[in-house]
Chain A
Amino acid sequence: MARLTNENLELAREIIGRYPRPKSALIPLLHLAQEQDGHLTDEAMAHIGELVGVSSAEVLGTASFYEMFKMEPVGRYMVNICTNISCQLRGGEELLAHAEKTLGIRPGQTTSDGLFTLEDVECIAACTEAPCLQVNYRYEHRISNEGFDQLVSDLRDGRRSDIPSHGVLAEIRQHIPADRRAGNVTPEDTATPVWVAAAGEGEK
């Protein structure tokens, strides 16, 4: 467990191939590992380090900076409730208090059945739809206490197949067909771009 599977390894190589420098693929690859395991394991981070050519310490150095990466197992569903200013004004803190009661946990904790982890998060860009929350980064807008309880019971009973388990972000990935690719531009490619050169000397 926990190094990238062969299927993910293939995806990882494709992703790395889209950047002029392999380390630029680091964050997307960490997401891939988190998608595979639900959180980041040491083995996966070491594997990613091998793939992009940096030490595991450097991988951890980057990963630990970003809030979305979890170094410990979390619930199948991350429930992120926004309490920033626009949501605070429209009941975000009261919603969080209600969620704590419904789930029986405090922000940062996971329910004993391993289903839910609750977080008190910063602005998630749905300010006009306050109070709002995300479950595994899928939005729920203008949510009431009743709406929250309904959401929790729907998740418990498997009625929200539209929300994949924690770690899965976009379910559609970019693929650049080989025959359409322009190719990476590395810092060593110092030639004037052809369309700029063709446009004449007057160009910058």
Chain B
Amino acid sequence: MITDAPRIITSRFDKADSHTLAGYEATGGYQALRKALSMGPAAVADEVKTATLLGRGGAGFPAGVKWGLAPENVWPRYLVVNGDESEPGTYKDRLLMERDPHQLIEGVLLASYAIGCGQAFLYVRGEMALAQERIATALNDAYAAGYVGKNILGSDFSVDVVLTWGAGAYIVGEETALIESLEGNRGMPRLKPPFFPAAKGLYMQPTIVNNVETLANLPWIVTNGGEAFAALGAETSRGTRMFAVSGHVKNPGVFEVEYGVTTFRDLIYAPQYAGGILGDRALKAFIPGGASAPWFFDEHLDLPLEKVTVDRAGSMLGSGAVVVMDETTDAVKACLRVVRFFARESCGKCTPCREGTTWLQNILQRIQDGYGRPTDLDLLMDVSDNISPGITWPPKQTTICPLGPSAVSPIASAMQRFRPEFEARIAQAEEARHSVPVTITKASSHG
């Protein structure tokens, strides 16, 4: 269902000066902060709880609940903003940082106020130079205007917001890896338990890690109330959400839609969204929530973009990344490309992921190159099973973080649906091997 829900987080995207302080103030900017300061921290946290704002980074954990996980009366607490957007297919946090940096900063201030954080770190992906520049400018202006720093707007609330940035590593999007990176280390995930960030995070202190899009919702929630937010969307998916639709569609784009009610079919085919498949070809498959998500097919098109529904159907909305593959797509090649990504980005800490993803890539590569063996498909499943026992959804893992099991998703999906394509590729290779006369030349001494 396509609705006329308000645009909550992309409301300023059409304005040329949306990234400036003047542009932000002229459109209601920093009014939520003023309101919050008169409400008190507990009331702000309550509004966010009422809103049931699910985290927009991938896991979809309710932000209000996450805040509440910090142990009582243990200080200091830190807030870390996850702006390390790098899940393949995902394109939303960069837009929010580049086009409306003050909205994010106001969200950071509201969260800091509510949880009692006196120093927040805004971690932007290293490759995003413009986002870093826009946030640096916005922070400089916001400090000068008295919105950030010491005694904000004359109140007793003080917080420094520090811009920090990475240097190219997908794994740093995992929150404990991000904390490691922020401590100046290699971005390798920490074991949970005991290192749940809310209990033992940055410098072993309680730390809340929130995604950019999650925080960008806070000014609207505080201004309009948690109930107004919760009135939008479906039972378990409130508000609105940004989805990037890429791949074989006529009008690839990033769309903010009402969460939980808009369907994949709406998003992929409606003229105001992606406008249908290129050349009006047939759909082969689509990834509903980033490269880590199992693929969906025709029969899933009428599912709403709703967290629980999509989870139950065997995949996830993840980071709001819908990647559309039409009938001309080579399933083996697409599968290999996604697996190669995980092999390349494995941090190397856990053996099943480090070795397993590399093997998965190597096997798929030889199938793709025409050297596949009849035993390769079973081998792929065997290696997958060692990374993610049972190859189930949600995945089980033999690793510290979900990166390894994520490499299993495309293989499980593609093999379940397109196994004949893999078999045909291998059979072709077999045939070629048997039809080529083999001459064995003994190594000679010349040359």
Which of chain B's residues has its CB closest to A23's CB?
Answer: B184
On chain B, the number of residues with a Cβ less than 8 Å from chain A's Cβ atoms is 89
> Interface range on chain A: under 10, 10 to 19, 20 to 34, or 35 or more?
35 or more
Number of inter-chain CB pairs below 8 Å: 246
Q: How far is the CA of A183 from the CA of B158 in the complex (A)?
A: 9
Q: How far is the CB of A38 from chain B (nearest CB, A)?
A: 15
Whether A61 is near chain B, meaning CB under 8 Å from some CB there, is: yes
Whether B229 is near chain A, meaning CB under 8 Å from some CB there, is: no
A202 touches B116 (CB 8 A): no
Q: How far is the CB of A180 from chain B (nearest CB, A)?
A: 4
B113 touches A195 (CB 8 A): yes
Stretch at the interface among A5-13, A99-107, A184-192: A184-192
Interface residues of B: mostly helix, strand, loop or mixed? mixed
Q: Which of A28-73 contact B (CB under 8 A)?
A: 28, 30-31, 52, 54, 61-63, 65-69
Q: Contact string, B124-167, partner A, CB cutoff 8 A, digits 1/0?
A: 01111110110111011001101011100001111110111111
Task: Given A86-B246, A195-B157, decide whether A180 and B143 contact each other with a Cβ distance below 8 A.
Answer: yes
A187 touches B156 (CB 8 A): no
A169 touches B119 (CB 8 A): no
Stretch at the interface among B3-11, B70-78, B384-392, B426-434: B70-78
Question: Could you say which of A54, A65, A130 has the most chain B C-beta atoms within 10 Å of its C-beta?
Answer: A65
Task: Given A89-B248, A127-B89, decide whether A184 and B127 contact each other with a Cβ distance below 8 A.
Answer: no
Whether A144 is near chain B, meaning CB under 8 Å from some CB there, is: no
> Could you list which residues of chain A lie within 8 angstroms of chain B, going by C-beta atoms?
18-21, 23-28, 30-31, 52, 54, 61-63, 65-69, 80, 83-86, 88-90, 122-130, 134, 136-139, 169-177, 179-187, 189-196, 198-199, 202-204
15 contacts between A and B (CB under 8 A): A24-B184, A27-B165, A54-B184, A65-B186, A86-B88, A125-B127, A128-B254, A169-B126, A170-B130, A171-B133, A176-B160, A177-B143, A183-B160, A186-B76, A187-B203
> Could you list which residues of chain B lie within 8 angstroms of chain A, going by C-beta atoms?
40-42, 72-73, 75-76, 78, 85-91, 93-94, 113, 116-119, 125-130, 132-133, 135-137, 139-140, 143-144, 146, 148-150, 155-160, 162-170, 181-187, 203-205, 244-248, 252-254, 287, 291, 321, 323-325, 329, 333-334, 337-338, 341, 344-345, 347
